[in-house]
Amino acid sequence: MKERHFFSKSFDVLSPLMVLCSIFGVCPPVYPKNGPKQNFELFYKIFSGFCVLGWIGAAIGVLFLKYELKSTVPYSVLVSDYFVHCGLTLVCVTMIISLVLGFTKGTKLKKIFWLLQNIDDKLGYDIKSFKPKIYFGIVFYLTLMVVYVIYDAFTWITFIGLDWYLLYIPKSLHICQLCLALLLPMTVLKFIHIRIKLFNTTLKFYGKTNMKELQVQIKDMKKLHSNLYELVITFNKVFGTVCFVGTIMVVGLIIHYVLMLLVYFEFQSELVGLKKNYVLAQCITGIVLPFMLIMSVATSGDSVSHEASKTCHICLSLMNRLQWDQNKNLTEDLRELALQCSFRKTAITAKRFFSVNHSMLGYVVSSIIAYLIVIVQFLSRSDSQNSTS
């Protein structure tokens, strides 16, 4: 794909977040913004490649050392922690390979910013007016992430000891990578949602106040809708894998902490005092925060799909207000735009495995319940065998 020279205010607004994500290796190579590929992109890919090898090596070493400290935690929790650590490592490695080491992801992300700026120029919108709200949301999200990691470290150190948490540091870094890798597409989705909403508002404004202006602008509006559709398709190509593996990992994290809750409070009755309170607090935060994360992703995708579905209804509403004999050309253009909206489903998907909207929460909840039923049956059988022996 040919590199574009472009000016994009959306790129400039999102640049600090992309720099932060690049430090953790979860942002496509988008620098330099203009011009031919330079040494920075090569260095970034080499750095990401070393991160992949480092995470795999660290996972092997940490899991071996955790096995040496297995007497400090129940066996079922240790096994669950193994699976979560391996899962986080696999997810982060997959994200790095998809976003950084994959071909054309950086060029496609630049294309998204180019399309956003093109839409802004046609509709007369300045994204910098929305900049304070965007930065407030990003800072609030990052604050929750840091608080979660620090609080989780405090509970692990208090409950088990510093030796165990030193082995838990790679897991904390993986959680940061996961959160940042999902924050970037959520923010881009917010940018797309703003443009689709602006498109619908402009279409309704012309229909209510100036039909003659709408007749002049309708062909440009059809081209803009094609740009919006291309925007969503490009987003799915860049971030589809991230949304897919991120959702699966969130399910794994929730199951892990629910398992800890069951083991320590149902099958480990000797756990008393402050340690019991620390485990309870850690499990609650470990369940609530990942669910909030996937809820935010689902809401971001749902807002885009819901707003895009309104365009067809607006066109049909305007057609009903027109008289066919007097506005034949405009009615035909509106009909074509309505058909364009109907055949081009503007939906955010996770590599076409599932749609990124509120319906995916049903998939998440059903998966968690199914796995927990199997886990509870296994723990109950193991507990009954231990009691009889």
| Residue 207 confidence (pLDDT) above 50 | yes
> How would residue 211 be classed by pLDDT, with cut points 50, 70 and 90?
low
pLDDT of 124 reads 81
Which distant-in-sequence residues (6+ apart) come within 8 Å of 287 by Cβ?
A: 254, 257, 258, 261
pLDDT of 386 reads 55
**Average pLDDT taken over every residue of the chain:** 79
| Residue 70 confidence (pLDDT) above 70 | no
Query: Which tokens sit at 10?
Result: 């959306």
Instruction: Tell me the residue type at 128.
Output: K
| Residue 381 confidence (pLDDT) above 80 | no
How many CB atoms are closer than 10 A to CB 120?
Answer: 18
* 8 Å CB contact between 364 and 251: yes
How crowded is the C-beta side of 127, counted as CA atoms within 13 Å?
25
Q: How far apart are CA 185 and CA 197, in angstroms?
A: 18
Provide the CA 269 distance to its chain's centre, in angstroms. Answer: 38
pLDDT of 383 reads 57
Q: How far apart are CA 319 and CA 341, in angstroms?
A: 15
| Residue 255 confidence (pLDDT) above 70 | yes
How many distinct helices (H) and strands (E) make up the chain?
10, 0
pLDDT in tens, 81-92: 778 778 888 888
pLDDT in tens, 1-55: 455 566 788 888 888 888 888 888 888 888 776 655 667 777 878 888 888 888 8
> How would residue 270 be classed by pLDDT, with cut points 50, 70 and 90?
low
pLDDT of 259 reads 79
Question: For the chain, what's the residue count?
Answer: 389
For the residues 158-171, what does the mean pLDDT come to? 74
What percentage of the chain reaches a pLDDT higher than 90? 2
> How would residue 168 be classed by pLDDT, with cut points 50, 70 and 90?
confident
Q: How far apart are the first and last CA of the chain?
A: 67
| Residue 76 confidence (pLDDT) above 70 | no
Secondary structure (DSSP) of 102-134:
STTHHHHHHHHHHHHHHHHHHHT--GGGGHHHH
* 8 Å CB contact between 280 and 158: no
How many CB atoms are closer than 10 A to CB 29?
Answer: 22
Instruction: Tell me the residue type at 112.
Output: I
Burial group, residue 253, by CB count within 10 angstroms (0-12, 13-18, 19+): buried
Q: How far apart are CA 225 and CA 196, in angstroms?
A: 8
Q: How far apart are CA 25 and CA 238, in angstroms?
A: 15
Among 171, 241, 185, CA closest to 18? 185
Q: Which string of b and e fits 164-188 if b means at least 16 CB within 10 Å?
A: bbebbebbbbbbbbbbbbbbbbbbb
| Residue 284 confidence (pLDDT) above 50 | yes
Place of tokens 């790129």: 11
3-state class (DSSP) for residue 265: helix
Q: Is 29 left (phi over 0), alpha (psi -120 to 50) or beta?
A: beta
Q: How far apart are CA 14 and CA 319, in angstroms?
A: 39
| Residue 238 confidence (pLDDT) above 80 | yes
pLDDT of 1 reads 45
User: 339 or 230: whose pLDDT is higher?
Assistant: 230
pLDDT of 297 reads 87
Q: How far apart are CA 250 and CA 120, in angstroms?
A: 35
| Residue 263 confidence (pLDDT) above 80 | no
User: 41 or 305: whose pLDDT is higher?
Assistant: 305
Q: How far apart are CA 326 and CA 307, in angstroms?
A: 30
pLDDT in tens, 123-136: 888 888 888 888 99
CA distances from 205 to 225, 305, 335 (A): 16, 21, 18
